[in-house]
A and B are shown apart, each in its own frame.
Chain A
């Protein structure tokens, strides 16, 4: 069964460093998302991406964040200068249909745990 994959599974970094989190969405999916989940808190939407551009982003997704689809398979989230409060689990997700399609299911990757020291 096709699945979303993410690397690395765990990333430890120093405050102020740049990190790149990588995702490989399901191959025939067209819509991609990044979420974060701070330990013990709810899953929070960061950004959606379609046709090589951002469709929508939340207030969390400030200038420190960027996303890219550098080739036909990878979808990356970059944090330019990490802060302590960026420590969280970051989930990538993909869907085959446009956002407003009824019952548009999302398929999540296993997540990358980011720890900022």
Chain B
């Protein structure tokens, strides 16, 4: 079983749309959860950490459901600049290894 699973997409949405990405993880001992974005041929960059109570940063909202081992990311009012691959990242039981999902590709269309 994969450590982290994501729907690869692609998601093609018009500007202004709301889009949601989902991610499941297999290790119930994981304690750190993140969404990163990766632009083509660039390094991953942290978008936001995911807190147990859920958290919001501007147009982005992240949710964590520990019971279901499920993480989500909601993007409201999509911008052209949101076009990227969104990576779900979870740490290992020891905390010394981080597992990446395959990423979900988003294209925001004018």
- Residues of A near any B CB (own CB < 8 A): 31, 33, 35, 41-45, 48, 50, 55-56, 58, 89, 91, 98-111
The answer to whether A56 and B92 touch (CB under 8 A), given A48-B97, A100-B31, A101-B32, is yes
Report whether B43 and A111 are in contact in the complex, using a CB–CB cutoff of 8 Å. Answer: yes
Instruction: Select one of A58, A91, A104 contacting B32, CB under 8 A.
Output: A104
Smallest beta-carbon distance A43→chain B, Å: 4
When distances are taken between beta carbons in the complex, the residues of chain B under 8 Å from A43 are 38, 44, 87, 100
Report whether B100 and A56 are in contact in the complex, using a CB–CB cutoff of 8 Å. Answer: no
- Complexed CA–CA distance, A108 and B44 (Å): 7
Report whether B99 and A99 are in contact in the complex, using a CB–CB cutoff of 8 Å. Answer: no
Smallest beta-carbon distance B99→chain A, Å: 7
Main secondary structure of the interface of B (DSSP, over half): loop
Report whether A102 and B32 are in contact in the complex, using a CB–CB cutoff of 8 Å. Answer: yes
- Residues of B near any A CB (own CB < 8 A): 31-34, 38, 41-46, 49-51, 87, 89, 91-92, 94-103
- Complexed CA–CA distance, A56 and B96 (Å): 6
Report whether B49 and A103 are in contact in the complex, using a CB–CB cutoff of 8 Å. Answer: yes
Instruction: Select one of B95, B99, B101 contacting A104, CB under 8 A.
Output: B95
Instruction: Select one of A41, A44, A104 contacting B91, CB under 8 A.
Output: A104
- Complexed CA–CA distance, A102 and B52 (Å): 10
